[in-house]
Amino acid sequence: MSYKKILVPVDGSATSNAGLNEAIGLAKTLGARLRVIHVVDLAPILGIPEGGTDFGALENEVKRAGAKIIDTALATTARQGLRADSAMPNTQGTLVADCIVAEAKRFGADLIVIGTHGRSGIRRILLGSNAELVVRSTQAPVLLVHGPAKRPAKRTPRRGK
C-alpha cells in the first residue's frame, strides 16, 4: 500500500516526538502529506471544583499550550525539509483517542503514526493508552513508535557467601 496522507498526534513528550520524527521520515520517503494534530483535552478542566474558577481562562491557557506544541512540531518538520499542516481538535466530552480517530477520518489518513509509552500491566490499566484505543477504533493502519528507551537501573553484582 502506498501511504499518501499521514496523521501524527503530538503532545510535546519525547515519545510523541519520536512518532513525529518517524512520520516525517515516512512522509519524505513516500512523498506523502503530513498532518500534525494536538488534541486539547478539556477533561481535566471539567474536574476542577467550581469555587471562583475562571474556566474560560483555563481553557484558553490549555489551548495556548497546545498551539505551542503544534508550532514546535511544525518547526521540526520544516527543519527536516517538509511542509505539514495541522489541526487542534478538543475533546468536548470525548476521549483523546476518539478525537484522533475522528481527525484521521476527516483528513482521509492512510496511516496514523503515534508514539507509545509501551506501558503494560497495572500501569496501562491505571494510566490508559491512547495508542491502544486508536488501534482498536480506527480502520486506518497504525504505526506505533516507542519513545526513547529508558536505561535499566544498574545492578550491583552480589557476592556469594
Please report, for the domain that includes residue 98, its CATH number. 3.40.50.620
Chain mean pLDDT for the chain: 84
pTM over 0.85: no
Q: What angle do CA 68, 90, 134 make, to 5 degrees?
A: 100
pLDDT (tens digit, 9 = 90+) per residue, 14-23?
Answer: 999 999 999 9
Residue 74 has pLDDT above 70, yes or no: yes
Distance between CA 155 and CA 148 in Å, rounded? Answer: 21
Residue 18 or residue 44, greater confidence: 18
Mean pLDDT over 58-76 rounds to: 93
Residue 106 lies inside a defined structural domain of this protein: yes
Residue 135 lies inside a defined structural domain of this protein: yes
Domain that holds residue 53: 5-146
116: helix, strand or coil: strand
Nearest of 18, 2, 5, 3 to residue 131 by alpha carbon: 18
Residue 153 lies inside a defined structural domain of this protein: no
Residue 155 lies inside a defined structural domain of this protein: no
- What is the pLDDT at residue 141? 96
Cβ–Cβ < 8 Å for 33, 124: no
139: helix, strand or coil: coil
Number of domains in the chain: 1
